[in-house]
């Protein structure tokens, strides 16, 4: 075995990628990511054992977020960039240690490496499998994957200038705990739920950051056709990158289109003022393998999810920013004021042909909490009259596996008196279907990006209050969540922390759940996988 990674839904055989990632991550990059996580744990140990004041180490706080984010599935395939980050983290760790006296640290806080070969050698001893007990390993990794998702959301909020130091402090606490061999499985289960608690805080922070800067999402019809100008395609979750790109492209004759998780940017009032914000091009992240070619113009990845480009022609049109990276693709970094210069991308776009139309029409979204509250009377009346029988939360991720056709079929076959609440790229499995509406309420309500699952939680809690229920599980809401990468892990942990029971998770249960840990999730929280569409619908509808 040359590498081991089982953090995403596509992991080889459902158990672990051991030679090369199904995602395209090679052995070297996988190992460098393992080492980056290890040094981040070491920093956490220094902060926790050294009782350092988290408020006073903001550079370290920010680099820890970035390091975790870099290791999310499909975010960064650039070994050189990860090596640079490892060295930076070792440097920060050693500086921090100078502030601490009389404390003995373990290996993660002490190891040194001098070059790539020594990094790879060290990495092979500190990866996932270095925890021998499979239940402890499972719980540790579930916590770490939740932290990766949390770090991504916290990093986006930070880019908008919003921080919650308690989240950073928790990340240190939890990472340090993953090094602690004296913690029992019960301790780690408790820490898993606490991770969910901080996941809620991180999503709330990002919601506050996004809405205070860009306004509250509102019902919006988004064009999915094309115009005649050259275009730039922007993908990922970072709205500050989009803002800067819009500022720099306005009046240049270059249009900007969203791809994948950037679609919900159209729902924010702020971005509507840009005439060249043309629409959304294509479907979810994995469809880039066929959609980037006809797009013709440059593509900017602001976060995950990158699929290694199949042709040199496409690779030459790819740019990355933030935590994302791909070998030989230009990476646009921010200056000390957070400003990014996208002129190279704009210049390239001007030389490119306009995008080829691959579909036409529009899709409707923008049903985040504020917009849904504005419709609350209508929604409540529809529930009371029986016009809406049940809501289905179908948030989460999409992916390329054939088994995900389940979600399209599920949406199609749901009874007509049900409404789908969605967020994240999972929506691309059914957001272009003609599912109609119930008394003017569309049957698919898209709140936004995966982090906007927070909105769905806020909506659920509001309904609980309106219907004067004791328990959120007494609402007519079922949860059929699709997962792929680690942001979905933090969304799941957040739901568990909030007491949501009987969540169905698919298209397959995580490979990182050991049989015993899976058993706990089933017994304590009623977590289940998915089955056949018709059977599942009957089950959910209580028939
Ligand atoms: Fe495999 Fe997923 Fe890890 Fe990639 S991220 S190596 S596909 S488990
Ligand atoms: Fe999608 Fe990658 Fe998870 Fe943000 S963009 S939800 S998979």
- Domains in the chain: ranges and CATH: 12-213 (1.20.1270.20), 220-350 (3.40.50.2030), 372-540 (3.40.50.2030)
| Residue 314 region by backbone torsions, left for phi larger than 0, else alpha for psi between -120 and 50, else beta | alpha
Angle between helices 453-466 and 486-497 (to 10 degrees): 20
Q: Are 494 and 199 in contact (CB under 8 A)?
A: yes
pLDDT band at 430 (very low <50, low <70, confident <90, very high): very high
Any known ligand binding at 98?
no
**Residue 170, SS3?**
helix
Any known ligand binding at 397?
yes
The pLDDT tens digits of the residues spanning 158-209 come to 999 999 999 999 999 999 999 999 999 999 999 999 999 999 999 999 999 9
The 3-state secondary structure of 57-126, one letter per residue? CHHHHHHHHHHHHHCCCCCECCHHHHHHHHHHHHHHHHHHHCCCCCCCCCHHHCCCCCCHHHHHHHHHHH
Return the best residue to mutate from 23, 74, 285, 510 for the ligand 1 pocket (most ligand atoms within 8 A of CB).
Answer: 23
pLDDT above 70: residue 120: yes
Q: Are 304 and 488 in contact (CB under 8 A)?
A: no
| Distance, CA of 231 to chain centre | 26
Cα 485 to ligand 1 centre (Å): 9
Any known ligand binding at 17?
yes
Q: What burial letters (b/e) apply to 391-428, b meaning 16+ CB within 10 Å? A: bbbbbbbbbeeeebebbebbbeebeeebbbbbbbbbbb
Q: What burial letters (b/e) apply to 237-249, b meaning 16+ CB within 10 Å? A: bbbbbbbbbbebb
Cα 244 to ligand 2 centre (Å): 22
Query: Which atom of ligand 1 is closest in space to residue 74's alpha carbon?
Result: 5
Q: Please give the helix or strand (H or E) that residue 351 lies within, else none.
A: none
pLDDT band at 251 (very low <50, low <70, confident <90, very high): very high
Residues 6+ apart with CB under 8 A from 312: none
- Specify the pLDDT at position 307: 98
Average pLDDT, the chain: 97
Query: Which atom of ligand 2 is closest in space to residue 237's alpha carbon?
Result: 4
Cα 99 to ligand 1 centre (Å): 37
Any known ligand binding at 261?
yes
| Residue 103 region by backbone torsions, left for phi larger than 0, else alpha for psi between -120 and 50, else beta | beta
pLDDT above 90: residue 543: no
Residues 6+ apart with CB under 8 A from 468: none
- Specify the pLDDT at position 1: 61
Any known ligand binding at 237?
yes
Query: Around 524, how many Cα atoms within 13 Å sit in the side-chain half-sphere?
Result: 13
Query: Which atom of ligand 1 is closest in space to residue 6's alpha carbon?
Result: 8
Q: Are 43 and 64 in contact (CB under 8 A)?
A: yes
The reply to whether ligand 2 has any atom less than 6 angstroms from the CB of 9 is no
Q: Which residues line ligand 1 (CB under 6 A)?
A: 5-8, 10-11, 17, 21-23, 25, 30, 73
The reply to whether ligand 2 has any atom less than 6 angstroms from the CB of 149 is no
Give the Cα separation of 479 and 527 in Å (integer): 10
Give the Cα separation of 483 and 509 in Å (integer): 9
Quick one: tokens of 240?
Answer: 């500050």
pLDDT above 90: residue 398: yes
Q: What does the CA dihedral 303, 10, 487, 156 come to, rounded to 10 degrees? A: 0
Quick one: tokens of 22?
Answer: 């199904």
pLDDT above 70: residue 64: yes
Q: What is the number of the ligand closest to the CA of 489? A: 2
Instruction: Kindly report the protein residue whose alpha carbon is nearest to atom 3 of ligand 1.
Output: 5
The reply to whether ligand 2 has any atom less than 6 angstroms from the CB of 488 is yes
pLDDT above 90: residue 333: yes
Q: What does the CA dihedral 100, 102, 106, 109 come to, rounded to 10 degrees? A: 20
The pLDDT tens digits of the residues spanning 206-226 come to 999 999 999 999 999 999 999
The pLDDT tens digits of the residues spanning 475-534 come to 999 999 999 999 999 999 999 999 999 999 999 999 999 999 999 999 999 999 999 999
Quick one: tokens of 227?
Answer: 């115009």
Cα 475 to ligand 2 centre (Å): 27
Contacts by 475-479, CB closer than 8 A, 24 or more apart: 475/391, 476/383, 476/388, 476/389, 476/390, 476/391, 477/390, 477/391, 477/392, 477/393, 477/421, 478/390, 478/391, 478/392, 478/393, 478/502, 478/504, 478/540, 479/392, 479/393, 479/503, 479/504
Quick one: tokens of 461?
Answer: 């809690």
Antiparallel, parallel or unpaired: β 331-332 and 299-301: unpaired
The 3-state secondary structure of 299-322, one letter per residue? EEECCCCCCCCCCHHHHCCEEEEC
The pLDDT tens digits of the residues spanning 276-285 come to 999 999 999 9
Give the Cα separation of 10 and 16 in Å (integer): 9
pLDDT band at 421 (very low <50, low <70, confident <90, very high): very high
Query: Which atom of ligand 2 is closest in space to residue 424's alpha carbon?
Result: 6
- State the alpha helices, DSSP H only, in 98-220: 116-126, 134-159, 165-177, 185-214
Cα 398 to ligand 2 centre (Å): 7
Q: Are 250 and 364 in contact (CB under 8 A)?
A: no
Task: Specify the residue for token string 């609350």.
Answer: 376
Average pLDDT over residues 228-245: 98
Instruction: Kindly report the protein residue whose alpha carbon is nearest to atom 2 of ligand 2.
Output: 305
Query: Which atom of ligand 1 is closest in space to residue 5's alpha carbon?
Result: 3
Any known ligand binding at 450?
yes
């Amino acid at each position: 075995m040359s590498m081991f990674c089982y953090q995403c839904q596509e992991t080889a055989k459902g158990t672990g990628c051991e030679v090369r990632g199904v995602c395209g991550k090679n052995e070297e990059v996988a190992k460098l990511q393992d080492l980056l996580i290890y040094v981040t744990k070491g920093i956490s140990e220094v902060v926790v054992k050294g009782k350092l004041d988290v408020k006073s180490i903001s550079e370290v706080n920010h680099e820890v977020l970035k390091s975790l984010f870099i290791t999310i599935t499909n975010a960064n395939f650039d070994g050189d960039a990860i090596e640079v980050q490892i060295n930076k983290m070792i440097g920060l760790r050693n500086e921090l240690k100078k502030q601490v006296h009389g404390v003995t640290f373990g290996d993660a806080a002490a190891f040194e490496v001098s070059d790539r070969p020594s990094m790879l050698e060290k990495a092979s001893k500190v990866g996932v499998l270095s925890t021998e007990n499979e239940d402890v390993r499972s719980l540790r990794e579930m916590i770490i994957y939740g932290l990766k998702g949390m770090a991504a959301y916290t990093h986006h909020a930070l880019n908008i200038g919003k921080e919650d130091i308690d989240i950073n402090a928790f990340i240190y606490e939890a990472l340090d705990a993953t090094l602690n061999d004296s913690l029992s499985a019960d301790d780690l289960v408790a820490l898993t739920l606490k991770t969910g608690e901080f996941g809620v805080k991180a999503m709330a922070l990002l919601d506050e950051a996004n809405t205070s800067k860009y306004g509250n999402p509102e019902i919006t019809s988004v064009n999915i056709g094309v115009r005649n100008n050259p275009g730039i395609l922007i993908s990922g979750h970072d709205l500050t990158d989009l803002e800067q790109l819009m500022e720099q492209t306005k009046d240049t004759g270059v249009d900007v289109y969203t791809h994948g998780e950037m679609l919900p940017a159209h729902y924010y009032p702020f971005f509507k003022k840009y005439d060249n914000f043309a629409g959304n091009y294509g479907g979810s992240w994995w469809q880039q393998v066929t959609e980037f070619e006809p797009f013709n113009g440059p593509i900017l990845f602001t976060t995950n999810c990158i699929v290694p480009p199949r042709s040199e022609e496409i690779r030459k049109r790819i740019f990355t920013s933030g935590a994302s990276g791909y070998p030989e693709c230009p990476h646009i970094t921010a200056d000390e004021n957070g400003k990014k210069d996208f002129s190279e991308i704009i210049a390239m776009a001007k030389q490119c042909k306009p995008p080829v139309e691959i579909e036409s029409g529009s899709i409707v979204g923008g049903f985040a909490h504020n917009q849904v509250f504005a419709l609350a009377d209508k929604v409540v009346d529809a529930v009371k009259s029986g016009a809406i029988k049940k809501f289905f939360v179908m948030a989460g991720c999409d992916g390329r596996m054939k088994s995900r056709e389940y979600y399209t079929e599920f949406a199609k076959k749901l009874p007509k008196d049900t409404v789908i609440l969605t967020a994240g790229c999972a929506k691309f499995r059914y957001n272009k279907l003609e599912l109609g509406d119930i008394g003017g309420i569309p049957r698919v309500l898209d709140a936004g990006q995966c982090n906007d699952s927070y909105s769905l939680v806020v909506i659920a809690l509001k309904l609980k209050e309106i219907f004067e229920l004791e328990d959120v599980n007494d609402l007519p809401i079922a949860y059929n969540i699709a997962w792929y990468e680690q942001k979905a892990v933090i969304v799941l942990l957040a739901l568990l922390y909030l007491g949501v029971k009987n969540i169905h998770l698919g298209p397959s249960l995580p490979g990182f759940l050991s049989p015993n840990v899976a058993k706990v999730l089933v017994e304590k929280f009623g977590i289940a996988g998915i089955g056949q569409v018709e059977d599942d619908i009957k089950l959910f509808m209580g028939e």
